[in-house]
Amino acid sequence: MTTDPQLTLFCLAHAGGSAHPYIRLSADLPDHVTVVPLELPGHGTRVREPLLHGLSALTEEAVRQIGERRHEPYALYGHSFGALLGYEAARALTAQGTPPELLLVSGRNGPTEPLSHRPFHHLPDDGFVQGLQRIGGLPEALLAEPELLKFYLPAIRTDLKVVETYTHAPGPRLTVPVTAFAGRKDVLTDASSMAAWSRITTGVFDLTLVSGGHFFLQEPEFRAALGARLTRFAATARRFPAARAAVTRAVAE
């Protein structure tokens, strides 16, 4: 009986998001995948810790957590703000000679593309919330709880500033496969700009469009597509078990 290679899937949430929703991903993913959501300071269970400001500090924190909990092989998955952070973490980990096997992103156009909306992270709370509503950047459940929303605004604003001030730094392309997912009704993405994720890697790229707007993590269609992609990864790993090790050695050297 052939056993699929075990894979640790590190997950990074959207702006202001917590690790909690990603824990439930496990139920719809193949048995060989272990989901490990990453919690950033000032978010979720770490809400009492000071927020980190700036992409460099956030990337260092993500890389630190991955390094402490990494078991080979591993992959990264990020949604929206988390997609950007996952990409930068993948770049840093690749530079260290420990690249992921696979980068999965959703809800965010390619990092070489211009911002999909006019920046509003600097606006007062009322204007800031209106901006989030305009782009569909707030879960409906949070909109229904004004006091809870107010509590989360600082984290959302801090993360969104990173997105809205991001400039893609030149550097080597990734060598790993990249898989992107986008909601057909998401005003923050479009198919051609999502396809631009192909430009940041020399590896295989694929794009899947799913039903829904910006937040589709709980949609059965997305979960099925994510599970199918991870199953295909396992099949490739079985067929070419030595290929990834060779690439990793080449990066390290």
Q: Which residues are catalytic, by number?
A: 80
Cβ within 8 Å of residue 21, ≥6 positions away = 13, 217, 218
Burial class from Cβ neighbours inside 10 Å (0-12, 13-18, 19+) for residue 110 reads buried
- Three-class HEC string of the chain: CCCCCCEEEEEECCCCCCCHHHHHHHHHCCCCEEEEECCCCCCHHHCCCCCCCCHHHHHHHHHHHHHHHCCCCEEEEEECHHHHHHHHHHHHHHHCCCCCCEEEEECCCCCCCCCCCCCCCCCCHHHHHHHHHHCCCCCHHHHCCHHHHHHHHHHHHHHHHHHHCCCCCCCCCECCCEEEEEECCCCCCCHHHHHHHHHHECCCEEEEEECCCCCCCCCHHHHHHHHHHHHHHHHHHHHCCCHHHHHHHHHHC
